[in-house]
Structure 1
Amino acid sequence: MSSEDSRRSANTAVLLREAFVALNDRMIQRLEQRGHGVVRPAHGAVFQHVDDGGTPVARLAERAQMTKQAMAELVAHLERHGYVTRIPDPDDRRAKLVLPTPKGREVFAIAQELLPEIEKMLDDLLGARRAAALRADLERIRATADGHGSG
């Protein structure tokens, strides 16, 4: 490992991302075990940001901080595989809303089932007090970075 590699791996932002990737990989494995092998990590950008009543692609892209074109590709993939559908937006005749299908809602349900396991794993790994402190610290970082906290 070069000194550049060790500096990069010691970077807090990189460690946070790598921890997220490791936890997200558990989700992808669980989805694959349950018959949803076409769902990839990138599709989390759709599932995380879609509203129950439907969401325009442009709003999904904005929430996920990605281009409309990239979001449209993710949505198209999920639509081809039956996870979402597009319906006319009643508020804008030119737009369509992305809406989860029953198959897409199953992905949400599987994610909800896995969350307590992940929380327990963190409690077991760090201890309940440290895990709670980590959650509080991450929430504070998020709030501050979003401009909602005092830092």
Structure 2
Amino acid sequence: MSNRIPALGGRERPANLAVLMRESFVALNDVVLARLAEGGHDAVRPAHAAVFQYLDDTGTTVSLLAERAQMTKQAMAELVRHLEDHGYVVRVPDPDDRRAKLVVPTERGHDVVALAQGLVPQIEHRVVEILGADRVEALRSDLQAIRAAFTAGR
């Protein structure tokens, strides 16, 4: 397995807060992906988190998914196409806009979301074991404060 942090001047780059938060997400997401694969969902890859994370139960356009995930429509459409080919989502006409299509989770897609959500208590329990309940609560509060401060006025 290669080192995920690129080198800078022959040494691993210093891990700033944004990198540490991203790498923590990757580590937690890897746990979920392994469980999904064990449950028969090995077609779901790390990039597909961007679809499932931002997909409304009632359906979401590719454009809105891309906007929410901060990626191009073309990249999001490719992720959606893969999930569609594997039976996780379908595209249906948008009843509010005849020109648009909604990406809607199938039963298989709902199963992925349910499995992932079902892991949240276990993962958060493990984090409590590592950090302690008070620090986890403080972390949650701090992350919410950071998010609010950096998204204010958007």
Which category describes the TM-score, using the shorter chain as reference length?
Answer: over 0.9
| Cα separation, 1, equivalents of 2:80 and 2:91 | 9
Mark the CA change 1:71 to 1:115 in structure 2 (over 3 Å): closer, same or farther: same
Which among 117, 129, 139 is matched to residue 134 of structure 1? 139
| Other-structure match for 1:65 | 70
For each residue in 1:48-69, what CA deviation from the matched residue of structure 2 results, as whole angstroms up to 9, or x when unmatched? 1111111110010000000000
Spell out structure 1 runs of 4+ moving beyond 6 A: none
Using the size of structure 2 for normalisation, the TM-score is: 0.91
Check if 1:90 corresponds to 2:102: no
Using the size of structure 1 for normalisation, the TM-score is: 0.92
Q: CA RMSD in A?
A: 1.4
| Other-structure match for 1:81 | 86
Which among 36, 40, 43 is matched to residue 38 of structure 1? 43
Displacement of 1:145: 1.2
For each residue in 1:83-141, what CA deviation from the matched residue of structure 2 results, as whole angstroms up to 9, or x when unmatched? 00000011111110000000000001001110001110110000110111111111111
| Cα separation, 2, equivalents of 1:54 and 1:62 | 15
Check if 1:124 corresponds to 2:129: yes
How many residue pairs end up in the alignment? 147
| Other-structure match for 1:21 | 26
Q: Identify unmatched segments of 5+ residues in structure 1.
A: none
The structure carrying a bigger helix percent of its residues is: 1
Task: Kindly indicate whether the alpha-carbon contact (under 8 Å) linking 1:87 and 1:96 is maintained by their aligned counterparts in 2.
Answer: yes
Task: Kindly indicate whether the alpha-carbon contact (under 8 Å) linking 1:9 and 1:15 is maintained by their aligned counterparts in 2.
Answer: no
